[in-house]
Amino acid sequence: MRPLSALLLLTCTAPAVALEPKDVWLVVNKNVAESRRVADHYIAKRGVPKDNVVELDLPKGEDISRTDYDAKVVAPLRDALRDQKDKVKVLVTTYGVPLRVGPQLPNADEKKELDKLRPELTGARKKLAELEKKKKDGGEVDAKELTAAQRELNALQAKERVLTHAESQASVDSELMLLWWEKYPLVRWVGNPLSTRVTDSYRKDKPPVVMVSRLDGPSAEIAKRLVDDAIAAEKVGLKGKAVIDARGIKYDPKSDPTGTGYGGYDESMREAAALLERAGLTVELDDKGEVLKPGSAKGVALYCGWYSHANFVDCCEYVPGAVAWHLASSEAVTLRDPNSKVWCPNLLKKGACATIGPVAEPYTVGFPKPAEFFGLLATGEYTLVECYSRTMLFCSWMTVLVGDPLYTPYKSGTKLKSADVTPSPKKPTGGP
């Protein structure tokens, strides 16, 4: 997990979306019988119109190639929903729908460009290495020449990234947010127009963006249980404590002005604890470097912690309806492998009702800021999928939300308002 502290986004207010069951459409894999059963269960429980289902001919596994994604997911979905374009606010991928899209491969023209580029790259690397060695050995090196050599190499590497579509793999769900975008760059991510952190000028004239959630897990029964637990928790309000497992990393706004490094996210966890206390929840904040030990907390409604990479720790006992996620690099590389040690499937097996995780390296900025996500959730003013969509910086990237998109665990009784939830982190309060 690497921070990306150079990112700079401005903050403004994104338009609120009032969601109803009729706004939700379900995506089903016709080749997995349980996929349709999970969709039918959701329709029956939430009152989603029976016609709000699109069945697709998809692979049965968790991976789909970029070519098949374009041909078997995007094209038929657009055809099926084109007349409903303004009505489709939420897509729900169900158990059996692939989880991860493979990378975009270079086309014939791009391969030709790469063949020309790579000798230039080799020469630029050699030139820079010779200058650096000369300087290290005590020779006289013109600083401007050294800087120019580094810039030349950086420019060529940037061109290579574009031509190779570097880091163009993504979660299916994050790509589906851009269902109505005809063309967008497949190099890393695309800024999320639904985020509260983007400017109106960026959001202006963009095609519609769809909110996406997933009903999935180690079994179809668990996927159905996510819906049942959400509805049951809503009836009485989610009960239980919040557990925030920070790491005691000091936040330095001078070196990390956007708060997208380790210190910024750790500080956001501490701010999440303060916000949830303000909302009236009982909060346990651990601000030490070690991950919580097994069996550390019972009666947990909300959990956020980091960083036990691909090594689930059974630290909490979750109440029905719990929302829990662990910030680490690959905690949703699978949702269906019952023997995996990554966090997302294990959190679902242990009773969590919703979780968030990446299908591959997302960098820290691939996650919502904990204070922003949990803060909005605790207001009761937004559904689960709205909280996620408003606090995710990117589309066409790695992260996936698992849970009932309409879940609103704190509809009543909360003491927190959306105006109380501001961009995080604000200022240093913790760490050594």
Shared domain check, 160 and 243: no
Helices and strands: H and E segment counts in the chain: 12, 15
- 426 occurs within a structural domain: no
Q: Is residue 132 part of a domain?
A: yes
Whole-angstrom distance, CA of residue 87 vs CA of residue 168 = 29
**Spatial contact of 173 and 212, defined as CB atoms under 8 Å apart:** yes
Asked whether residue 19 is domain-assigned, the answer is no
Q: Do 242 and 387 lie in a common domain?
A: yes
249 and 365 housed in the same domain: yes
pTM higher than 0.85 = yes
Question: Does some domain include residue 251?
Answer: yes
Beta bridge partners of 55: 28
Residues 250 and 364 placed together within one structural domain of the fold: yes
What is the full DSSP assignment across 255-320? T-TT--SHHHHHHHHHHHHHHHHHTT--EEEE-SSSPPPTT-EEEEEEEEE---TT-----EEEEE
Radius of gyration of the CA atoms of the chain, in A? 23
Position 298 in a domain: yes
What three-state secondary structure class fits 209?
coil
| Dist CA 134 CA 137 (whole Å) | 5
Mark which of 164, 180, 197 sits at the end of a domain.
164
Pair (253, 380) in one structural domain = yes
Which residues of 184-226 form beta strands (DSSP E)?
190-191, 211-215
Q: Do residues 115 and 258 both lie within one domain? A: no
Asked if residue 81 belongs to a domain, the reply is no
Domain containing 138 equals: 108-164
Q: What angle do CA 359, 95, 366 make, to 5 degrees?
A: 25
Residue matched to tokens 């038929």: 76
If asked whether residues 378 and 261 sit together in one domain, one would say yes
Q: For residues 161 and 164, what is the distance between their CA atoms, to the nearest angstrom?
A: 5
Same domain assignment for residues 253 and 125: no
Same domain, 258 and 140: no
**390 residue type, one letter:** R
Helix (H) or strand (E) holding 357: strand 355-358
Q: DSSP letters along 72-128, please? A: IIIHHHHHHHGGGTTT--EEEEETTS--EEPPPPP-HHHHHHHHHHHHHHHHHHHHH
Residue 27 pairs in a beta bridge with 54, 93
Per-residue pLDDT of the chain (432 residues; tens, 9 = 90+): 655 543 444 344 444 557 999 999 999 999 999 999 999 999 999 999 999 999 999 999 999 999 999 999 999 999 999 999 999 999 999 999 999 999 888 889 999 999 999 999 999 999 999 999 998 999 998 999 999 999 999 999 999 988 888 888 999 999 999 999 998 988 889 999 999 999 999 999 899 999 999 999 999 999 999 999 999 999 999 999 999 999 999 999 999 998 999 999 999 999 999 999 999 999 999 999 999 999 999 999 999 999 999 999 999 999 999 999 999 998 999 999 989 999 999 999 999 999 999 999 999 999 999 999 999 999 999 999 999 999 999 999 999 999 999 999 998 777 899 999 999 998 654 433
Last residue of a domain, one of 124, 147, 164: 164
> Per the structure, how many domains does the chain have?
2
Same structural domain for residues 240 and 343? yes
CA separation, residue 108 to residues 112, 114, 163, 185, 288 (Å): 6, 10, 11, 17, 52
179 lies in a domain? no
What are 114's two structure tokens? 């790469």
Contact call for residues 413 and 431 (beta carbons, < 8 A)? no
241 and 338 share one domain: yes
Would 362 be classed as within a structural domain?
Answer: yes
Q: Are 260 and 365 in contact (CB under 8 A)?
A: yes
